[in-house]
């Protein structure tokens, strides 16, 4: 099938076949809705899977959304695209992107350089997505004006974030206390999207993930939506989905 005269990619073709085989072929029409936006290079941004479509719909309808699932499902990238769209539509005054500075067993204290140099490696995936969607010059201009802020989670303490679109990435690496601190920063006119993969927790042994705790504590609160991605929602290289499946089998 041809969408707007553009041939299907391998990912789209494989996903279409898999969806038809499990009886979800008719639902694929949802993926033909208007795009979210466009990248700096003019590439169309839209949901590529039904999971992504439901995630975007949840973000539109709720002030706080948790996107939980494996790498490559577009959790953070789509949240950023929605944030930038809301900003351009004057729905919020600024965009705040944050993530905990604890990953893969590393500690800021053991990294070389000053504070900014230590922080940047942890925030690099957020920068990369912003550059892709906005372009470097637009990104830099908005940062200089204070309209986009990229900072470690610890910098959120003690603040009230009004009229903001806030994205917490790698939330599986928050503690319960950090997650509570983050969620209680959200002020009037703000929206928050929290993303993470509960199979990739890098916290010290014995510390429970704040993302896991939140999914149990907040699951019945109106205005908060939890969206779980499946391996079928992976939109990276086809091998990524097979890698996820192999690790899932090994864990059982």
- What is the pLDDT, as a whole number, of residue 3? 47
Which residues are within 8 A (CB) of 54 and not within 5 positions of it... i.e. 6 or more apart?
227
- Residue 5 falls within a domain, yes or no? no
CATH number of the domain that 178 lies in? 3.40.50.300
- Residue 192 falls within a domain, yes or no? yes
Q: Which letter, b or e, does each residue of 205-241 get, where b requires 16 or more Cβ atoms within 10 Å of its Cβ? A: eeeebbbbbbbeeeeeeeebbbbebebbbbbeeeebb
**Domain hosting residue 82, numbered range:** 62-229
CA 251 to each of CA 199, 219, 246: distance values in angstroms, whole numbers, following the listed order = 10, 26, 9
Q: Dump pLDDT digits (tens) for 6-42.
A: 555 555 555 555 555 455 555 556 556 667 778 888 8
Report, as an integer, the average pLDDT of 205-217. 93
Chain mean position to CA 2? 29
- Residue 71 falls within a domain, yes or no? yes
Query: What is this structure's pTM?
Result: 0.81
Report, as an integer, the average pLDDT of 64-82. 93
Give the Cα separation of 100 and 168 in Å (integer).
Answer: 8
- What is the pLDDT, as a whole number, of residue 31? 58
- Residue 141 falls within a domain, yes or no? yes
pLDDT above 70 covers what percent of the chain? 77
* Closest residue by Cα to residue 36 from 47, 27, 51, 50: 47
Using pLDDT thresholds of 50, 70 and 90, give the confidence band for residue 205.
confident
- DSSP H helical ranges for 89-229: 115-134, 136-144, 176-183, 210-217
- Residue 6 falls within a domain, yes or no? no
Q: Is the pLDDT of residue 107 over 60?
A: no
- What is the pLDDT, as a whole number, of residue 100? 87
Tell me 53's DSSP state: H
Give the Cα separation of 188 and 190 in Å (integer).
Answer: 5
pLDDT mean across residues, the chain: 82
Give the Cα separation of 98 and 37 in Å (integer).
Answer: 22
Q: For the chain, how many structural domains are there in total? A: 1
- Residue 31 falls within a domain, yes or no? no
- Residue 216 falls within a domain, yes or no? yes
Place of tokens 């996820």: 244
100-114, 145-159, 215-229: which range is least confident on average? Answer: 100-114
Q: Which residue has the higher pLDDT, 111 or 193?
A: 193
- Residue 12 falls within a domain, yes or no? no
Other CB atoms within 10 Å distance of the CB of residue 3: 12
Q: Which letter, b or e, does each residue of 18-57 get, where b requires 16 or more Cβ atoms within 10 Å of its Cβ? A: ebeeeeeeeebeebeeeebeeeeeeeebbbbbbbbbbbbb
* Closest residue by Cα to residue 198 from 185, 183, 186, 209: 209
Q: Is the pLDDT of residue 123 over 80?
A: no
Q: Is the pLDDT of residue 58 over 80?
A: yes
Give the Cα separation of 5 and 206 in Å (integer).
Answer: 53
């Amino acid at each position: 099938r041809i969408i707007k005269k553009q041939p299907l990619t391998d990912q789209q073709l494989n996903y279409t076949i898999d969806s038809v085989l499990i009886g979800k072929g008719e639902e694929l029409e949802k993926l033909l809705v208007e795009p979210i936006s466009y990248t700096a290079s003019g590439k169309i941004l839209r949901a590529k899977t039904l999971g992504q479509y439901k995630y975007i719909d949840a973000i539109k309808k709720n002030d706080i959304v948790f996107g939980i699932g494996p790498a490559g499902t577009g959790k953070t990238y789509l949240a950023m695209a929605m944030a930038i769209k809301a900003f351009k539509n004057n729905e919020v005054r600024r965009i705040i992107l944050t993530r905990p500075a604890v990953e893969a067993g590393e500690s800021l204290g053991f990294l070389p350089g000053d504070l900014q140099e230590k922080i940047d490696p942890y925030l690099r995936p957020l920068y990369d997505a912003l550059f892709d969607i906005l372009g470097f010059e637009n990104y830099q201009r908005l940062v200089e004006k204070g309209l986009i802020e990229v900072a470690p989670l610890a910098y959120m303490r003690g603040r009230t974030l009004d009229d903001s679109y806030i994205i917490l990435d790698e939330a599986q690496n928050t503690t319960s206390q950090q997650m509570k601190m983050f969620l209680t920063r959200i002020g009037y006119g703000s929206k928050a999207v929290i993303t993470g993969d509960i199979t990739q927790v890098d916290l010290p042994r014995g510390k429970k993930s704040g993302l896991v705790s939140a999914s149990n504590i907040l699951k019945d609160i109106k205005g908060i939506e939890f969206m779980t991605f499946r391996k079928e929602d992976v939109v990276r290289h086809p091998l990524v989905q097979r890698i996820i499946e192999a690790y899932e089998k090994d864990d059982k």
